[in-house]
Structure 1
């Protein structure tokens, strides 16, 4: 095999390529290269191949050899898509590591890594057969409907026809029409990425002379006044901007497209067609770096640089609002000055949009942004700019680790404790934080992990001196940490001082802040209006038809929603079980908090930030802008509001119900609760004024709440670590979960038990389960989980994964495995 060597092959021998297909198949497939493509084939290029009977896919060339496959006859590749490789050798090696470590297939990694516009799948095109005459009266209703649609639109895809008929399976109908010679069916691949093109207009050099221009203008005024208007508009625009597009000229002059075209034909104007970026940036904005680090920040920066001489990974443990971002900026500036690239990872798109504006002040057009809110074409553009090393800094959410970096020098993982760095579905179920550390190792780069509340795994590695540790214990500008007050909901209910879900203390502090023209953030870690609708007579609760969960009422849509599969149904006014009209909503989410606060404080300008209000592309940025510009008095939100937001006038934070965090049945519940409460609290009083946090709870004496008040992360860490060690949990043990899924619960029980028995033969009591998880049916699949716990030093995790893979493969060859899905999850958060 000519493994991982770039370049073309000009010799005329028959070549074979091993390709990665965007499919969940366990090994790469080999194709034959037509001789005329020998000189253009290269590792990392995209090729079009046929897989199966008729499907066409874009695959990535992973290896080139002269060795034909022994078990099957290799098909020819159909087309080479790229002039230059779209994927680098380091990326291919990185994909391979992800697949092996997280127990998935390389094709699944490719699917996650490549922007969808770079992945092509076949689209079956349907057209009418114009060469054959037939009687439409002989067609059935559905066949007739398809032909009528093809009269209006000459070409339709299979998915278009499925929508037209309102059914998924349309191939039998199309097959019949094809056999009757009514339609043609062709398999076709189309390139989805199209660069954005604009026509730029310049004046012919001859008319840059004032005399010639005056003479031209007088002629045009008499013979073609509209063209004269266009020339005049060009001169006007050219005083203020260098580049003038055709569209701008038409808009400014009011001339028709034909007038501009005539001027181009007369060679008065010169038209130049250019690809332009979809990624807007004001190039005239001057890059400035006018902040000065505090003494504590400068000390931390020096310490980080010193630690980097000995360690590859350093943890910056800094309290909220200690100015970690400014330290990041100084490190990035130094790295860029050496010609290296920087990757800055953030857990949430909310943070990305918030911080990008700040970073652009310092890095200008050298910074690229990459996350899922970008459309396909924008993502491709960022990909290609990184490939060409045009961006020195890339800021993005977890998928940014897959970009084609050529010379990484530093990776910053901000808020490294966040669970958002872990992908849960679909595969690869990777952790971007851990993957970033491996990626940095490949590039011989450094990694800085930043957090006010580090994950226990990271803090453990720092204490074991595997990572460097730098601590920043004071807020920037000498601002005090917020004052935290815990309010008992039980006591306030007894005293009848509760107003809806708000204690008297919270209402008073909110009013005081609003009177001082300050802002408030309210945190409730549940979206929707009410989590449960219940019948007071028979206790009936509407459940999702696909999942084992109760439906959440959303007042904005007036429907009951499933937050797992997206199912919706109308909210009943009569109980479907007993016919009672006594239905009531239990619990509350962000929508209800917003709704009830609008009644209690009708003059307050309210906004809500959760998954429902931030679905559209710019909605999140609009909310943040409004908060920055003080168009919002009170922001109600889920955990999105806890992550890194920095607003000068937010002085009061209200945590509506801390118990929903503390009582969650998970070994990480206390760690997560502390992180969430501390992070939310950290949004208060960040510039100049000390903020205040009101934590409403039924259990004010809970240990974690006391630790949050004391800002005692160390006490939390050492207390929890003792329990982790006793009960064999990370970081002392590694965990691999196997979720076994089937639509029949009885079959699932047999399948899960069989797998557990096989695993116990090799791993003994390290295998726990199978057990039903907290939610045991999602999207009509019942789930049973098998947990495997491995000591860090006593067993090779690599060998353990090989054994687990072999057991799963052997199980899948048996009849028992029919209809079964097995999903490995390595290091589940």
Structure 2
């Protein structure tokens, strides 16, 4: 290898169908290895920080490989297992490894590109042809040879420097190149230390009584006494902490440093605080939990994946904790996946109680510096358990033993936009296989696919069929809303039976959770004269009124509009609010229950890193009585004092045009009802619905997942849907409706020959315009034949390339979504 030219296949964060290859200069051969980041140029002068996938000696046939410029890491930032995961994800989900890299790496590892001006020596030093601004920059370049954009802005005292730079390039005074700079830096903190000489009590006592050194410097003496107190209580003392506690100034601290009494030392510190590392399991499993634990242990010996089907409030988390303990004691790492950031705060408190500083959290609410620190602690093996949302799947584990996928049925595990459109549960199963690790899936309402795999013995199955403490599953009452309307002829929000139940719960000092799957105040408003409804200018959807902002919001593109006071069709000013969202429910609850403390949990009310945790803790501590929210309140939260749950509009869950509608409705209703009566006695659930004969309601009332599954699997088999088929949804987008329709027809025609019997469509989706782009969909339903599926994926990618070679369709965006949800 040393005698021939060495080449590096490098992944860069772009949607390139193939990875590009660069040659490795002789000077960098000893330092380069797979998994390190390198600096490369693609095109004329665009620089990227890429990751080396592999090293080889095969010269590219189609082009001359350029030298890579620099190696950015002494050691790999990722390992072979992550590179294999990226490759599998790109192949399986029909995207590029560059797109996977962009999703996987924290932003600071991707580096930022900074424009640098380089002086052209051939221009010389005659600046007589330059104007005033050009002259200033030219003169600075003559002296320094290179200037960054920021330096040019300072020089000209203006942010508008690009026209000046453009003229300098045109006049050949300078050229431009891109410099990559590392944006992450370790956090440093100044610590205060006592001179070791005063560790001796006699020396310290003499110092405190020394007239010359301290008695005449009263403030310095107070500062020193504060320091000694802090050292005793805290162990280590930082400079900001000492100055804050003592009320002293920098000058007084400098005085003690100058006298060689105190020393200052700068150290690298963690941005996130960790508890001491210890394992402390202070509970025993119930007999039912013990049986489930033994079943999981036994199943994972012969099968890599096991499904724990445990009813709501059966204590699945305690079973997880016992299993995690086993893997930690074996020196293995564990990844604990949760579908929502909202859940992490409650679960992390439980896990920290038992595993202390072995635990770390990783999700999108952390800033980029914090993410890099967690990344490095996982890579070094320092963190043994990571709790996180789907993105934590990309962390560089060294010795992964177990992945727990809690609430495995949850649709939040599927990434929608941008690519890679991966499913974290399925990605976890592949990732674990690279380490020969185990996967434990857990849910009270498993996905039909996972339960099918367990029934067909592909996965192991453990059942936890009784609630913790022997508490009964909640009783469910169906409230028929067909004849119940409010004074404004609108749907009634809180029916009389539900109101009476809330009153009773509040009287008993209990808490209430109300669920509505729509946020905002009113999902749409309608002109009472002609029926006109305000729509988004850019999307084919109605606008939702948010009372908090007093604006109309589009929940698809995020555009905000002023409220409409006059109908654009007939000019009438008479509007009716139709339907209701969480904001309106909150308002009505405050009116109906003036003594009840009400809070709302949805994407609008819960923002910021600690907002979820703060609201959950308030509810846990009994400082709130009624919590109203969207799906956030459904997912696995555990509140001991809740005895009543209300589902305010079940019709909205049962009426989607989707093959999974029954599955999703059953899961949501069963999960939300599971929040009731978790501690001492049976809870109550009220479901407000007009379609009272819907079969899903019966399954929910009986809490009978098995009956639901048996009915659902028959329908899936008849209509050839998962788990019997594999789905690939192709979504085509373009600003012209005619162009996107023609492109969809061309795509369907090109696939018709080999895959005609598997095609559905093309057709318009329910929402056929988003962000001013018209949409068309084409669904491919393939049998479970690996070779056929791979061949079809390759054909689709080839046909997309052919489509884009047609001038009419060059700007049509085609998005393949594998295993579409």
Partners of 1:577 and 1:565 in 2: how far apart? 24
Q: Any idea what the Cα deviations from partners look like across 1:90-143, whole Å, max 9, x if unmatched?
A: 10011000000111100000011111111113133689999969656999xxxx
Shift of 1:155: 5.5
Instruction: Check if 1:475 corresponds to 2:470.
Output: no
Partners of 1:781 and 1:236 in 2: how far apart? 65
Q: Decide which of 269, 290, 295 is 1:303's aligned counterpart.
A: 295
2:84 aligned partner: 93
Relative to structure 1, the CA distance from residue 206 to residue 737 in structure 2 (aligned partners, 3 Å threshold; closer, same or farther) is: same
Aligned-residue RMSD, C-alpha: 2.8
Shift of 1:214: 3.4
Instruction: Check if 1:620 corresponds to 2:612.
Output: yes
1:42 aligned partner: 33
Shift of 1:228: 3.1
5 Å-filtered alignment, 1:695-710, equals: 695-710=687-702
- Are the counterparts in 2 of residues 552 and 562 from structure 1 also a CA contact under 8 Å? yes
Shift of 1:223: 5.8
Instruction: Check if 1:272 corresponds to 2:227.
Output: no
Relative to structure 1, the CA distance from residue 523 to residue 412 in structure 2 (aligned partners, 3 Å threshold; closer, same or farther) is: same
Shift of 1:583: 2.0
Shift of 1:151: 15
1:420 aligned partner: 412
1:118 aligned partner: 109
SS in 1 for 2:731: strand
Shift of 1:156: 5.2
Shift of 1:153: 7.4
- Are the counterparts in 2 of residues 529 and 552 from structure 1 also a CA contact under 8 Å? yes
Shift of 1:224: 4.5
5 Å-filtered alignment, 1:167-246, equals: 174-176=165-167, 179=170, 187-217=178-208, 218=210, 219-222=212-215, 224-246=217-239
Partners of 1:769 and 1:498 in 2: how far apart? 37
Partners of 2:190 and 2:369 in 1: how far apart? 19
Instruction: Check if 1:55 corresponds to 2:49.
Output: no
Instruction: Check if 1:503 corresponds to 2:495.
Output: yes
5 Å-filtered alignment, 1:413-812, equals: 413-493=405-485, 500-793=492-785, 796-812=788-804
- Are the counterparts in 2 of residues 336 and 392 from structure 1 also a CA contact under 8 Å? yes
- Are the counterparts in 2 of residues 117 and 193 from structure 1 also a CA contact under 8 Å? yes
Relative to structure 1, the CA distance from residue 364 to residue 151 in structure 2 (aligned partners, 3 Å threshold; closer, same or farther) is: closer
2:143 aligned partner: none
Shift of 1:230: 3.0
Shift of 1:757: 0.6
1:143 aligned partner: none
Relative to structure 1, the CA distance from residue 87 to residue 795 in structure 2 (aligned partners, 3 Å threshold; closer, same or farther) is: closer
Instruction: Check if 1:407 corresponds to 2:399.
Output: yes
1:255 aligned partner: 248
Relative to structure 1, the CA distance from residue 401 to residue 499 in structure 2 (aligned partners, 3 Å threshold; closer, same or farther) is: closer
**Which deviates more from structure 2 when the two are superposed, residues 110-119 or residues 51-60?**
51-60
Shift of 1:82: 1.2
Partners of 2:491 and 2:582 in 1: how far apart? 16
Partners of 2:118 and 2:482 in 1: how far apart? 70
Q: Decide which of 50, 53, 57 is 1:66's aligned counterpart.
A: 57
SS in 1 for 2:266: strand
Shift of 1:325: 0.5
Partners of 2:725 and 2:342 in 1: how far apart? 33
Partners of 2:491 and 2:721 in 1: how far apart? 42
How many correspondences in the alignment?
801
- Are the counterparts in 2 of residues 413 and 433 from structure 1 also a CA contact under 8 Å? yes
Partners of 1:328 and 1:509 in 2: how far apart? 35
**Which deviates more from structure 2 when the two are superposed, residues 307-316 or residues 498-507?**
498-507
1:6 aligned partner: none
Q: Decide which of 372, 386, 392 is 1:380's aligned counterpart.
A: 372
2:312 aligned partner: 320
SS in 2 for 1:240: helix
- Are the counterparts in 2 of residues 15 and 66 from structure 1 also a CA contact under 8 Å? yes
Shift of 1:229: 3.2
2:141 aligned partner: none
SS in 2 for 1:824: strand
**Which deviates more from structure 2 when the two are superposed, residues 210-219 or residues 536-545?**
210-219
Shift of 1:742: 1.1
Relative to structure 1, the CA distance from residue 658 to residue 126 in structure 2 (aligned partners, 3 Å threshold; closer, same or farther) is: farther
- Are the counterparts in 2 of residues 12 and 35 from structure 1 also a CA contact under 8 Å? no
Relative to structure 1, the CA distance from residue 151 to residue 392 in structure 2 (aligned partners, 3 Å threshold; closer, same or farther) is: closer
Q: Which runs of 5+ in 1 are unaligned?
A: 3-10, 140-149
Shift of 1:807: 2.2
Normalising by structure 2, report the TM-score: 0.93
Q: Any idea what the Cα deviations from partners look like across 1:242-280, whole Å, max 9, x if unmatched?
A: 111111122233333244345445543233322211222
SS in 2 for 1:197: strand
**Which deviates more from structure 2 when the two are superposed, residues 223-232 or residues 610-619?**
223-232
Q: Decide which of 327, 340, 346 is 2:338's aligned counterpart.
A: 346
SS in 1 for 2:302: coil
Partners of 1:375 and 1:627 in 2: how far apart? 27
Shift of 1:221: 1.9
1:106 aligned partner: 97
- Are the counterparts in 2 of residues 56 and 121 from structure 1 also a CA contact under 8 Å? no
Shift of 1:714: 1.4
Shift of 1:500: 4.4
Normalising by structure 1, report the TM-score: 0.92
**Which deviates more from structure 2 when the two are superposed, residues 61-70 or residues 773-782?**
61-70
Q: Any idea what the Cα deviations from partners look like across 1:751-793, whole Å, max 9, x if unmatched?
A: 1111111111111221111111111111121111111111124
SS in 1 for 2:743: helix
Q: Any idea what the Cα deviations from partners look like across 1:649-675, whole Å, max 9, x if unmatched?
A: 111101100000001111110110000
1:18 aligned partner: 9
Partners of 1:12 and 1:221 in 2: how far apart? 71
Partners of 2:15 and 2:61 in 1: how far apart? 22
Partners of 2:765 and 2:21 in 1: how far apart? 40
Partners of 2:432 and 2:148 in 1: how far apart? 56
Relative to structure 1, the CA distance from residue 171 to residue 739 in structure 2 (aligned partners, 3 Å threshold; closer, same or farther) is: farther
Q: Any idea what the Cα deviations from partners look like across 1:404-449, whole Å, max 9, x if unmatched?
A: 0111111111110000000010000000000101111111011111
Shift of 1:171: 5.9
Relative to structure 1, the CA distance from residue 578 to residue 185 in structure 2 (aligned partners, 3 Å threshold; closer, same or farther) is: farther
- Are the counterparts in 2 of residues 497 and 504 from structure 1 also a CA contact under 8 Å? no
**Which deviates more from structure 2 when the two are superposed, residues 792-801 or residues 341-350?**
792-801
Relative to structure 1, the CA distance from residue 638 to residue 183 in structure 2 (aligned partners, 3 Å threshold; closer, same or farther) is: farther
- Are the counterparts in 2 of residues 498 and 504 from structure 1 also a CA contact under 8 Å? no
Shift of 1:352: 1.1
Relative to structure 1, the CA distance from residue 182 to residue 687 in structure 2 (aligned partners, 3 Å threshold; closer, same or farther) is: farther
Q: Any idea what the Cα deviations from partners look like across 1:697-731, whole Å, max 9, x if unmatched?
A: 01222110011001111111111111111111111
Shift of 1:53: 2.6
- Are the counterparts in 2 of residues 127 and 155 from structure 1 also a CA contact under 8 Å? no
Shift of 1:35: 2.6
Partners of 2:67 and 2:244 in 1: how far apart? 51
Partners of 1:795 and 1:15 in 2: how far apart? 34
Q: Which runs of 5+ in 2 are unaligned?
A: 136-146
Shift of 1:497: 13
**Which deviates more from structure 2 when the two are superposed, residues 40-49 or residues 499-508?**
499-508
- Are the counterparts in 2 of residues 343 and 393 from structure 1 also a CA contact under 8 Å? yes
**Which deviates more from structure 2 when the two are superposed, residues 677-686 or residues 610-619?**
610-619
